[in-house]
C-alpha cells in the first residue's frame, strides 16, 4: 500500500476527478450549519473546493478534468441487469417522471448546481454525456490521455483503470483527503490478489451490493481472485467450467455454469465504456473565463476564501 504522504517524487500528471464522489463526501462531512449568506447550506460547495485544492496541491496537475454524471444509471445497463443501482432510485419521483431518478438530499441539489456553475465560470473542463456515467467519461479520458493519469475517486469500480504499464493510478479518497491512498497494480495485488487489468472480471464474480450486482453464488473475494489468476478472465473461466478435463470444485463449476447469462451481461455493465465524446481542448485555463459570473457565485455562496485558494492551487488568474 502506498500512501500519498510517502511519495518521494513530485511529477506533473493529468488529474481527473470523479466529481460526484467529492461533492457527496463533502456534503456528509460538513455540517448543514455551514451556510451561504442567505442561509442555504453551503458545506458541499465549500468542502468540494477545499478537497480539490488539497488534492491538486499534493498532485500538481498539468491537465484537470471533472467527470460528471449526466446519466448516472444508463438505461442500457439497466436493460442488461435490472437490479443495477436500483436501491439508489427514488421510486416516488421516478414514477412521476417516468424515468429513474436518483435519491439526492434536498440540501445537496442546489449545491450541485452551484458547483457546476463555478467550474463552468472558471472554464475548467466538466464533461458528462447521456448514455455514459462519470466512470465512462473517466475511462475515455484515461484511454485517450497522452500523459500519466491520476483518477480521484472513492469508487472501487474505477480500480479497473489502474495500469502500471500506462502509468494510470487511482487516488482513493475513501479514508479522507488527509489519508489519500495511491492505488497502483501493487496495491491491488496486495489488497485483492489481482491487478487493474483483472479487476473488472474479479468484481463481476465477487459481486458488488453497492451497485446492485449479485455476483456468482458462493464466490467471494478470495475465490474470485484465485479463479481469475488460474483462468485469466471470465471467458477462460467459463471454458474451464464447461470442460470435464479441468479440475474445479463441483459447487463452483455448477454455480459458474448457472451464472453464464449473468456474467455475459455483467461483463458489459461492470466495464467502463470508453466511447464518451471529449472536447478537443482539455487544457487548464490560465485565466478565469467568466469573472463576473464567478464573482456573483462567490458572493452568493460566501466562498471567496475557498475560490481564491482553489484558483491559486491550479495557477488560474482571476481578474476582477
Q: Which residues contact 11 (CB under 8 A, 6 or more apart)?
A: 148
**Measured between alpha carbons, how far is residue 125 from residues 135, 230, 248 in Å?**
16, 42, 49
pLDDT digits (tens, 9 = 90+) for 66-84: 999 999 999 999 999 999 9
Chain segment 84-115, per-residue pLDDT in tens: 998 887 654 344 434 454 779 999 999 999 99
* pLDDT band at residue 1 using 50, 70 and 90 as cut-offs: very low
For residue 6, pLDDT beyond 60: no
Q: In the numeric block, which cell numbers belong to residue 60?
A: 500538481
Q: What is the pLDDT of residues 17-65, one digit of tens each?
A: 999 999 999 999 999 999 999 999 999 999 999 999 999 999 999 999 9
Name which of 314, 318, 250, 308 is nearest 283 in CA terms. 314
DSSP 14-68: EEEEEHHHHHHHHHHHS-TT-B-TTS-B-HHHHHHHHHHHHHHHHS-EEEEEEE-
Handedness of CA 186, 187, 189, 194 (dihedral sign): negative
Query: In 3-state terms, what secondary structure has residue 76?
Result: helix
- When pLDDT is averaged across residues 142-167 and rounded to a whole number, the result is 96
- Which residue, among 249, 300, 315, has the nearest Cα to 114 in the 3D structure? 300
Compute the mean pLDDT over every residue in the chain, rounded to the nearest whole number. Answer: 92
Q: How high is the pLDDT of residue 11? A: 57
Domain architecture of the chain: domains with CATH: 2-194+274-313 (3.40.50.1010), 196-270 (1.10.150.20)
Neighbours of 175 (CB within 10 A): 11
Cα separation, 72 vs 224, in Å, equals 27
Q: In terms of DSSP bridges, do strands 149-153 and 126-127 run parallel, antiparallel, or are they unpaired?
A: unpaired
Amino acid at each position: 500500500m502506498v500512501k500519498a504522504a510517502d511519495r518521494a517524487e513530485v511529477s506533473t500528471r493529468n488529474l481527473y476527478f470523479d466529481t460526484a464522489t467529492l461533492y457527496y463526501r463533502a456534503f456528509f462531512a460538513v455540517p448543514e450549519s455551514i451556510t451561504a449568506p442567505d442561509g442555504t447550506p453551503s458545506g458541499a460547495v465549500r468542502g468540494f473546493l477545499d478537497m480539490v485544492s488539497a488534492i491538486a496541491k499534493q498532485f500538481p496537475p498539468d491537465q484537470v478534468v471533472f467527470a460528471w454524471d449526466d446519466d448516472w444509471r444508463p438505461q442500457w445497463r439497466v436493460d442488461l441487469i435490472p437490479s443495477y443501482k436500483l436501491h439508489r432510485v427514488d421510486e416516488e419521483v421516478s414514477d412521476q417522471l417516468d424515468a429513474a431518478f436518483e435519491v439526492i438530499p434536498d440540501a445537496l441539489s442546489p449545491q450541485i448546481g452551484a458547483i457546476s456553475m463555478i467550474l463552468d465560470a472558471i472554464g475548467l473542463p466538466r464533461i458528462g454525456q447521456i448514455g455514459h456515467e462519470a466512470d465512462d467519461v473517466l475511462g475515455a479520458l484515461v484511454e485517450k490521455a497522452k500523459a500519466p493519469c491520476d483518477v480521484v475517486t472513492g469508487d472501487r469500480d474505477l480500480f479497473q483503470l489502474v495500469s502500471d504499464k500506462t502509468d494510470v493510478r487511482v487516488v482513493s479518497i475513501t479514508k479522507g483527503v488527509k489519508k489519500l491512498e495511491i492505488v497502483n497494480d501493487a496495491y491491488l495485488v496486495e489488497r485483492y490478489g489481482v491487478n487493474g487489468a483483472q479487476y473488472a472480471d474479479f468484481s463481476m464474480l465477487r459481486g458488488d451490493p453497492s451497485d446492485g450486482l449479485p455476483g456468482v453464488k458462493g464466490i467471494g473475494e478470495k475465490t474470485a481472485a484465485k479463479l481469475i489468476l488460474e483462468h485469466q478472465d471470465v471467458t477462460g473461466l467459463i471454458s474451464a467450467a464447461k470442460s470435464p478435463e479441468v479440475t474445479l470444485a463441483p459447487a463452483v463449476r455448477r454455480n459458474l455454469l448457472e451464472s453464464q447469462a449473468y456474467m455475459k451481461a455483467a461483463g458489459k455493465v461492470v466495464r467502463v465504456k470508453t466511447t464518451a465524446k471529449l472536447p478537443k481542448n482539455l487544457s487548464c485555463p490560465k485565466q478565469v473565463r467568466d469573472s463576473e459570473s464567478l464573482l456573483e457565485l462567490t458572493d452568493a455562496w460566501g466562498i471567496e476564501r475557498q475560490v481564491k485558494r482553489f484558483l491559486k492551487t491550479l495557477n488560474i488568474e482571476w481578474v476582477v
